[in-house]
Amino acid sequence: MNGHTANSAVMTLKQAAAYLQVSKAHLSNVIHGKVRGVPPIRSFRLGRRVLIKREWIDEWLEDSCPPVVSQC
């Protein structure tokens, strides 16, 4: 992932997949609601491009990932 991706407000599917450290195919399946038990990520299309706001990804991570509870 290059520095441009981390600072970009809007990412391509490839950039978003790198940001989340998943494959483009898996991210595409998540976007289209094809991954059972995982809520879809908001996205929009500009022509054939799938674009995702980094803000939407961060919100999705906050909402869909349960907090880690440490055990003592």
Domain range list for the chain: 3-64
Token digits for 14? Answer: 């490839």
Quick one: CA dihedral 22, 40, 53, 69, positive or negative? negative
Give the pLDDT of residue 7: 67
Give the pLDDT of residue 64: 80
**pLDDT score of 69 more than 80:** no
Position with higher pLDDT, 2 vs 67: 67
Give the pLDDT of residue 63: 87
pLDDT in tens, 9-61: 999 999 999 999 999 999 999 999 999 999 999 999 999 999 999 999 999 99
Single pTM value for the model: 0.78
Quick one: CA dihedral 60, 65, 66, 67, positive or negative? negative
> What pairing do the DSSP bridges indicate for beta strands 10-12 and 49-53?
antiparallel
Helix (H) or strand (E) holding 4: helix 3-7
